[in-house]
Amino acid sequence: MDLNEVIADVQRKMEWYKDYLQEIGAERLNFAGKFSVKDGYLEVSKSIVEILKLRISDRREAANWESFFNILVERSEQAGIIILRSGKVGNNTHRTLDVKEFRGFVIYDELAPFIFINGADAKAAQIFTLVHELAHVWLGASGVSNNGLDTAGYRMNSMEKLCNDIAAEVLVPATDLLERWKSATDFVQQVEKLSSFYKVSTVVIARRLFDLEIIEKDAYWNYYQLQASRWSKNKTMQKSSGNYYLTLPVNNGKTFTKAVLYSVFSNKTLFRDGARLLGMKPANLNTLADKMGL
């Protein structure tokens, strides 16, 4: 499966990065594995919001879904979590990742957790997946994710259900949603408006309303069935910007990419090995470093 190949590549990157961090004396992340499934989703979501310094105003200031996703990625990496995103296997443009196989995964480590987001997914779905995977880091567990929004949660294991609840609260805080919800307003129009504001899918908004007992299960399920096709029709696989040197750090994670380059140019890692870690030719490392301002 493509998933196995991608996981193997990320594991190889993570092993190198852990050695790199240990050499420079980095300490474990104090939030990694801080909670367990016995803890409530509110407590975990509060910690994530605090570490990422998320504010409701971040949604207003983000021009679109991509902008908000980038805010989440940047703050996650500042906190010490490596975020990789790609819609293909390695550099093979003919091997597009299948969203049905997986939306993302996290390889947990208290020093260097790595999260991979399937760039072939819809942008709104990528945002939810990212925060779901962040929840795994706080809970100290690796995992491969699908969103599980097509069920009432009863068939999901406790870890995945908790991660979904955490992601929903981080992205669409209950207290804020209840203040914005107007029961007398047209349901579909309001869900779409809230989706645009919070930068999540309309299905996430509807699911949040169901979980908060604002709408009934049948209403949610009917809405889900009507809207689910949007994720496939509107999926926005991360395409190359036309600039190879802008796309590559996104695929590998900017923090990881910089670490490899620093190691190469300080003569601690061979050009050949650094290029292999980043999935590029050794001759292009100098240009990449220049483009990243290193």
Structure tokens at 251: 């695929």
Calculate the average pLDDT of the chain. Answer: 89
Per-residue pLDDT at 54 exceeds 80? yes
Per-residue pLDDT at 154 exceeds 60? no
Q: What is the pLDDT of residues 73-131, one digit of tens each?
A: 999 999 999 999 998 877 766 778 888 888 999 999 999 999 999 998 888 889 999 99
Neighbours of 246 (CB within 10 A): 12
pLDDT given for residue 241 in this prediction: 52
What residue segments make up the domains of the chain, in order of their start?
A: 2-233, 244-291
DSSP per-residue string spanning 102-141:
-SEEEE--SS--EEEEETTS-HHHHHHHHHHHHHHHHHT-
Q: What is the pLDDT of residues 219-235, one digit of tens each?
A: 888 888 887 666 555 55
Which stretch of 33-42, 164-173, 216-225, 280-289 has the lowest confidence by average pLDDT? 216-225
Strands (E) in the chain, as ranges, are 82-86, 88-89, 92-96, 104-107, 114-118, 143-145
DSSP summary character for residue 27 = P
pLDDT given for residue 193 in this prediction: 93
Q: What is the pLDDT of residues 2-25, one digit of tens each?
A: 888 899 999 999 999 999 999 999
**Interior angle at CA 219, CA 217 and CA 224, nearest 5:** 95
Please report, in angstroms and rounded to a whole number, the separation of the first and last CA atoms in the chain.
Answer: 36
Mean pLDDT in residue range 260-280: 95
pTM: 0.91
Per-residue pLDDT at 243 exceeds 70? yes
pLDDT given for residue 92 in this prediction: 67
Q: What is the pLDDT of residues 161-219, one digit of tens each?
A: 999 999 999 999 999 999 999 877 788 889 999 999 999 989 899 999 999 999 888 88
Per-residue pLDDT at 155 exceeds 60? no
Q: What is the b/e burial string over 224-235, where b = at least 16 CB atoms within 10 angstroms of the residue's CB? A: beebeeebeeeb
